[in-house]
Amino acid sequence: MLYLDASAFVKRYIEEAGSDLLTEAMDGSRATSTCRIGFVETVRAIAMSGNRRDVKKMESEWGLLDIVEVDQVLAEHAAELAVSQGLRSLDALHLAAALSLSDTDLTFATWDRRLHRAARDQGLKTLPAALE
């Protein structure tokens, strides 16, 4: 199973370092998940690149993802992670969402250094395996 934060998901629509790796991982995954907040983050990032066509493509593919909804339990866990791991709010929500999934073969995809480190600290396998 693959979990995407926005820094990963955007690579599906904007060609940048890591795009090929992300596409390969998505193609090889039996399921791909993200948190509901990822919709807003990804649409914004794609729109800022100036390509409205890719925003429409992303919106049409959103339904293919398994969505983790934000509820009180997730918010409280994210708040704990934000404080203990020094994460920004949305990054903490992504990490809490991934940790709420029961799949033991979960890979957490992020290109955010701080979030990558926190995911590894929480025992998650990451994509990419290391960030420089």
Domain ranges within the chain, ordered by starting residue: 2-127
Residue 132 CA, chain-centre distance (Å), reads 19
d(CA 79, CA 89): 7
CA distance 123 to 105: 11
Strand partners, 127: 109
pLDDT at 51: 81
**pTM greater than 0.75 (yes/no):** yes
Q: What is the number of other CB atoms lying within 10 angstroms of the CB of residue 63?
A: 7
Q: Find the helix packing angle between 89-99 and 37-48, rounded to 10°.
A: 130
Taking alpha carbons only, the member of 99, 104, 98, 128 closest to residue 116 is 128
Range 2-127: architecture per CATH: 3-Layer(aba) Sandwich (3.40)
pLDDT score for 132: 72
pLDDT for position 87: 98
* Residue-by-residue pLDDT tens, the chain, 132 positions: 999 999 999 999 999 999 999 999 999 999 999 999 999 999 999 999 988 899 999 999 999 999 999 999 999 999 999 999 999 999 999 999 999 998 889 999 999 999 999 999 999 999 999 987
CA count, 13 A, side-chain hemisphere, 73: 5
Q: What is the pLDDT of residue 52?
A: 86
Q: What is the per-residue pLDDT for 102? A: 84
